[in-house]
Each structure stands twice: as structure tokens, then as C-alpha cells.
Amino acid sequence: MNNKYKYKISIIIVNYNVEYFLDQCLDSVTKGIQNLSAEVFVVDNCSVDGSVEMVKSKYPDFRLIENKDNIGFSKANNQAIEIAQGEYILLLNPDTVVQEDTFLKTVQFMDKHADSGGLGVRMVDGKGVFLPESKRGLPTPIVAFYKIFGLSALFPKSKKFGQYHLGHLSEFENHEIDILSGAYMLMRKTTLEKVGFLDESFFMYGEDIDLSYRITLGGYKNYYCSDTKIIHYKGESTKKSSVNYVFVFYRAMIIFAQKHLSGKNAKLFSLLINFAIYLRAFLAISLRILKKLFLPAIDITYLIIGLFALTNYWKMSDIEFPKELISYSIPIYAIVWLSTSYFNGGYDYPVKLFKLIKGVFIGTLLILIAYAILPKSWQFSRLFIFIGAGWTISYYFISRVFLHFAIGKQFKLWVKTKKSFAIIDDNKDEFNRIKELIRNTNDNVAKITQISSIDSCTIKNGDFQEIIFSSKTSTYSEIIDYMSNNSFDQTDYKIAPKNENFLIGSNSIDTSGDLYILNLNALISKENKRKKRLFDLAFSLAILISSPILIWTFNRKKKLIKNISKILVGNLSFIGFSEDVSKQDVRLPKIKPGILFPSDIMDTENIQIKEKLNLLYARDYSMRKDFSILIKAWKKLDL
């Protein structure tokens, strides 16, 4: 090691509210530095999830920098780089897991390649799928054009069109590349002292592109090393569907262009990127809306056509319906049946026929109630309502069976709802601990099987829906190797950190990563989000209708009307989390602000009780719970 430096490597991890990912990352780092002279920095950007306390208690030998604000990725890294005493500087994301030999192999690679300034490694996501951002080319205007307009996706292996992710280069071989990923970015300290640290004008995204480019401008080479692997749970690929990500990422590319390209090229590039930003955002939003409305639009069309056809059958039996009533009633009937089916979960995937049928029954009941209170001149046939409901049920049955056989996938009717789990662990106590954790956090467990070791794990795709590795009995190298060699579509992977009550994994390329701690996401399931919105609409309308009488029981009448109006348009909800507690508890799912809180049912100011009531509300949500809070605290609706 160079005598100028105290350590061979300085590892810098910038954290912001990812306590459980950080914990697992630091555990893998601890194992990875056993044969190296190393120092580890954790720079925390004002997390409120307990990250700081966790580092202090579990990793006291690591250097912790506590920022009082979220100062961004670049500035936080620079704080540690400035005082780092390692020959090599490694920027490492907190949502990564490294193999036990990753640091040693990458440092040895740099030692052997004197011309190297920076190095990246082979990265896989939480399902073991290779992340193409492990190796990237320089995003010149033409390369950006190929990526923005989808040519790189159409021809990923093309040397010309696939330059952004260098698709023509094998992921299993070492290569010289242009751009490193900030998730694992190993650099010489001397290189950084020559070319400069991270540019702090990049708050997040783009800073790795900028620094990689400056390394090559400084006369050094960047390398992709396939000799070792890491897991990166929240890779670029996991966030690409987010509209906000499109804006942030491409604006970072604009900053890069303005900094490194000539004036004319920078303007052209900026124009192209801005066009791409709004085009991608428009397409993403449009496709999302189209995807949600396409099937309901077809359904409502067929339902109305069928109901009008039924009136023709009546006419052939010499029964005439008033044309004015038919023109209004039939679309209303169809909308009611479709709406009640929707709110009952009939349009969730996988498809559940009984939810559609139940929705039609509820809709029929509502139509009959409304029919009974209409004037006699507006009532034309109860039998038509029942036959119309029969037609609707028949249509749903025939159409869903057709979609099941014609398309399958999300339209499959017979899907296993219960999961089979495999726990790879030869220790009985550890197996039972993980087994208990799974049962406490899952309502859909079919079976849990113990597999003694990774070497004896010879499963096929679909044998288990989830495989859990114990980091207590398996090395991270074994885990990552198995995941990358056995990437199954129908199988998710999770890692159980030793002596912890959570599991970490990534269920798909579209999710950042997920935790099994408590089942706190019940509140934001599709079904419960609909129920909560339906509750808000029904009771806000009821309050507005009764407001000529009800309003006199409130002191702040204008505030009451304003609150109810905000609920109607979807800016507020009747019930939300207690803000003074929820801001400090990142475990809670994100929901709309409420006028009332779970703690209002007890009228308490105790912070611990408020926190517990918030958690119980998130875990055990029901419309009945909303109703009980509303009845208990309705006098606070004008606050």
C-alpha cells in the first residue's frame, strides 16, 4: 500500500431513510473488509427512520457523519472524500449487498491496471437479473437520441444503437467503459485529487456520468469488472416507470451537456432532452390511463348494447318502453353495475369472477332501491332490471373466460393465491425464527419448506414463490451467485439478516425493494384505496346534502365546507395519520392528509399511543374503522 495513505480503501455510503437496506449493506461490508485495511464512512442526510441510531449501536467502528439537512448525494459524498485516508475511494449505495471478496478483487484489479482511474462491477437486481447500467457509454447527443426514441431497446446488442448500455459487450467479461454507476464506483484518491470530486450542482442522478467523464478527460481509463458481483435493489431499471424519475434523470443529462458539450451541441442536446422529457411523461401518463380504462370502456359498451338489445326483445312482445326513459336508464344501469363491480375489486388482477358477480348484485340492489322511490311514471319494469343484471353477469362470465384462454397472464382466473416458501438454512432454530416471521407477516402462506444448503437447492421455476436465504448460515457470495445463476420469473428472493425481525428483497423489476416487518401496506391495497375513497365520497356528499341543518352545529362553518369540498375533489380524506407522528415514522404508507386521526378515537396526546394507533390503522384498515373514528370525532371536522 502507498505510504501516503493510512488505509487501502475508504468506503463511503450516503444514506437517506433506508435503515433496513443500510443495515444489510453494512453487514456485507463488514464481512468484505476482513482482509483489507479499510475505513467506512456513513454519511446520513437527516434520516428520520432510525438509521443513525442503528449505525451507532451496531457499527460503532464506522465513521458516522450526521447532516442536519438532506444536502444531496454529491455534497454528502464529498464531505467524506475530503477527509478519507484511503488509497482508493469507493462510493457505495446503501441498497447494495457485496460479496465477501468484492472489495479485494476490485482493488487487486485496479492495482494491476495502472492506467485505471475508476472501476464498476457486475450488478444484479433483487431477482438476480443483470442490471445493464453496470456498464455504460458516454451519453452523447446521438447516443441519447437512440435511447430516448427506443432504438437502444429495440436493438440492445447493436454496437451502434446499444451504446448507452454497451449491449454489444459481454456482461461476463472485463471491459474498458466510459461511464461508471454511482452504486459501486471505485476510484483512486490521486485521480480525484487531479480531476476533482463530485460536482455538487447535481443533487441526485448524473453526478456519476459527470465524474466518469472527467476521469477519462484526466487521462485515466474506466473499467467494468465482471470478476465479482453485487446486488443493487434499486437500480435504474427499477425506477424507469416513474414519471418523476424521467424528469430528474433527463434534467441531470441536460446539466452534463451544458457543462461538457460545445455551446451549439449543448443547446441541441438540451432541446432534444426537453422534448424527450415531456414526450416520455405524456406517454407514461397516457399509457397508464389507457391501460386502466381500456377494459372498462369495452365492458360498458357491451353492457349498453346488450341492454338496448333486450328492449328490442320487449318490443317484439308488444311491450313499449318510453324512449326518454330508455335513453337515460340503460346507460345509468350499465354505469351502476360497472361501478359497483369496480369498487368491489372486479377489475383487480388476477381476475376474480365472484367479485364481479357480487358487484352486480350490489348494483342491482342499489338500482331497485332507487327504482322504488321514483315516481310511478318513471317506473317501467322491475323484470327488465333483473334480466339486465342476468345479462351483465353472463357478459362478465363469458368475457373473462375468453380473456383467460386468449391472453392469460393477469387475466388468468385460476391463480394460486397462497405462496410456497423455501428457507435455505440447516439450523433448526434459525429456520423456525424465519418461519415464524413469514407467518406473522403473510396471510397467504401455503407451505414453508426447509432446504439445508444452497448446494442442495435444485428447484425449478414455480416450485416456490419465494426463496429466503439466511445470511447467518450462507455467505453473501453464495447467495448472489445462486440468484444470478437462477433468475426465475415466478420466484422472488429475500435475505434474512441474522437476529433481525425483517426480510429484505425485491419482488420485481418495477419495485424498489420490499420488507417483511409488519403488514402495513393493507391500507394502500387497491381494494382498500377504493373503499377509503368511496367512504370519503359517500359521507362528504351526505354532509353537504344535510348541511342546511348540520352546519349550525359547527362553530367554523366556512372551514367545514372548505374541508368537505377538499375531500370531494380528492385533496383530503376524512381519516389520515397523526402528522406529528407520521412524519417521524417512515414505516407508514403514504396516504392523503386527514381531517381526523386514529388517535381521535381515544382523544390522546401521548406520542407512543398515537404511533401505535397509526400502525394499527395501517395494518387493520376497514371502512368500519373509518366510520367509528368519524362518529367519535365528527365535531372536529371544522378544524
For 183-221, the pLDDT digits (tens) are 999 999 999 999 999 988 776 667 888 899 999 999 999
Alpha-carbon distances of 463 from 456, 457, 494, 544, rounded to whole Å:
15, 11, 16, 54
| Residue 26 C-alpha from the chain's centroid | 23
Rounded distance, CA 63 to CA 14, Å? 12
For the chain, what is the mean pLDDT?
84
DSSP 254: H
Assess contact for 410 and 350: CB atoms under 8 A. yes
Whether the predicted pLDDT of 509 surpasses 50 = no
- What pLDDT is attached to residue 248? 58
What's the residue count for the chain?
Answer: 639
DSSP 101: T
For residues 575 and 585, the model is more confident at: 575
Rounded distance, CA 553 to CA 102, Å? 68
Alpha-carbon distances of 16 from 46, 47, 70, 141, 153, rounded to whole Å:
7, 5, 8, 33, 32
Assess contact for 54 and 19: CB atoms under 8 A. yes
Whether the predicted pLDDT of 511 surpasses 50 = no
Q: Find the range with the poorest average confidence among 66-70, 463-467, 617-621.
A: 617-621
Q: Render pLDDT for 55-92 as a digit per residue (tens, 0 to 9).
A: 999 999 999 999 999 888 899 999 999 999 999 999 99
φ, ψ for residue 496, nearest 5 deg? -100, 105
Mean pLDDT of 400-409: 88
- What pLDDT is attached to residue 65? 97
Mean pLDDT of 495-523: 61
Question: Residues near 150 by Cβ (< 8 Å), separated by ≥ 6?
Answer: none
Best-predicted range by mean pLDDT (109-118, 385-394, 598-607): 109-118
Q: Residue 508 — pLDDT band, cuts 50, 70, 90?
A: very low
For residues 239 and 211, the model is more confident at: 211
Q: Residue 236 — pLDDT band, cuts 50, 70, 90?
A: very low
Structural domains in the chain, CATH included, are: 7-135+171-232 (3.90.550.10), 240-404 (no CATH), 419-517 (3.40.50), 522-636 (no CATH)
For residues 48 and 203, the model is more confident at: 48
Q: Render pLDDT for 621-638 as a digit per residue (tens, 0 to 9).
A: 888 888 888 888 888 888
- What pLDDT is attached to residue 444? 78
Q: Which of 28, 8, 171, 4 is nearest to 480 (CA)?
A: 28
Q: The sheet that has 503-505: what strands, in order across it?
A: 445-451, 419-424, 466-470, 492-496, 503-505, 514-516
For residues 101 and 330, the model is more confident at: 101
- What pLDDT is attached to residue 317? 60
